[in-house]
Amino acid sequence: MNVTAAIEVEGLVKAYGETRALDGIDLEVEQGTVLGLLGPNGAGKTTAVRVLSTLVKPDAGRARVVGLDVATQADAVRAVIGLTGQYAAVDEYLTGFENLEMVGQLFQMSRRDARARAAELLERFDLTGAAKRPAKTYSGGMRRRLDIAASLIARPRVLFLDEPTTGLDPRSRLGMWEFIEGLVTDGTTILLTTQYLDEADRLADRIAVIDHGRVIARGTADELKAQVGGERLEFTLAVAADLPRLRGLVEPLGIEAASLDEPTRRLTLPVSGGTAVLRNALDRIADSGIAIVDVGLRRPDLDDVFMTLTGHESTETTTTQEPA
């Protein structure tokens, strides 16, 4: 096994009754890198994080964090990790400052060190102005930031972020991404779970896609996207007979051949270059008299990844087949 690995997971199994939440997972995360654990609800992402952060004991398999076994050396593991769960675990009645001070002291820091570190993190997470207000008054985004700040208080070597942006509005989400990127530059090893491909794409060095408790694909974001396909233009026409003419007009903009689907009156064209290509395409069609019902620029999302890897939608619960 690689000595530089911050997280090593071998054949991890955890069952709840009949459900095998983890069905033999292997993972390896190098120090100072970010692994994105990508999967739909119920795929086993949260269970994996709970095992790695010592909350849950695995039924079989081994997991080590900086070389420490999570089952047999739980206390030592707890001293080097930070955990931010799916629900912002902050005490509503304590102020932001008091929350951080408390967690720092429970990390066995002296009260003075805990206070100094709390002030430093509040500043860094843009919460200094709200430091003296009970967390009850915080917005969702502020609570998440406070929660992450709490998990960073003892400068963890490994940080677990379980769906850090779920439920946040787009602006808070973008802000959260920037905060997480800042952590990476500090050299923290991060395991991040997410349902969003764009989030994994932006934050993770490597991605493991999991479904039904198994890893069904792994690689960099580019490698996964190469499997799934990149962005594409989609046109839906009023009349299917116009499809060949549309293809003649827009195909030169694409990076591959367009595909036509007569029953849905749809043309799909792989492209690169984003909205500029879309505008260009619309210019070309403008005087053609082709009646367009719908047009859009589509990027691959989790559903596309799942469609490609498993042949089913991420929200379905049909049995997954392990790809060859």
Residues that bind another protein (CB under 8 A): 16, 50, 53-57, 75, 78-79, 81, 83, 85-94, 98, 102-103, 105-108, 134, 150
Nearer to another protein, 162 or 201 (CB): 162
Least spacing, CB of residue 8 vs another protein, in Å: 19
Least spacing, CB of residue 55 vs another protein, in Å: 4
User: Which tokens is 10 given?
Assistant: 């071998």
Nearer to another protein, 75 or 178 (CB): 75
Q: 148 forms bridges with which residues in the sheet?
A: none
Calpha distance 319→277 (Å, rounded): 38
Residues 6+ apart with CB under 8 A from 146: 88, 90, 96, 99, 100, 125, 127, 135, 138
Cβ 235 vs Cβ 292: under 8 Å: yes
Least spacing, CB of residue 127 vs another protein, in Å: 17
What is the residue type of 31? Q
Calpha distance 187→210 (Å, rounded): 25
Nearer to another protein, 101 or 242 (CB): 101
Least spacing, CB of residue 69 vs another protein, in Å: 15
Nearer to another protein, 87 or 256 (CB): 87
Calpha distance 189→197 (Å, rounded): 20
Nearer to another protein, 168 or 302 (CB): 168
Least spacing, CB of residue 164 vs another protein, in Å: 14
Cβ 26 vs Cβ 194: under 8 Å: no
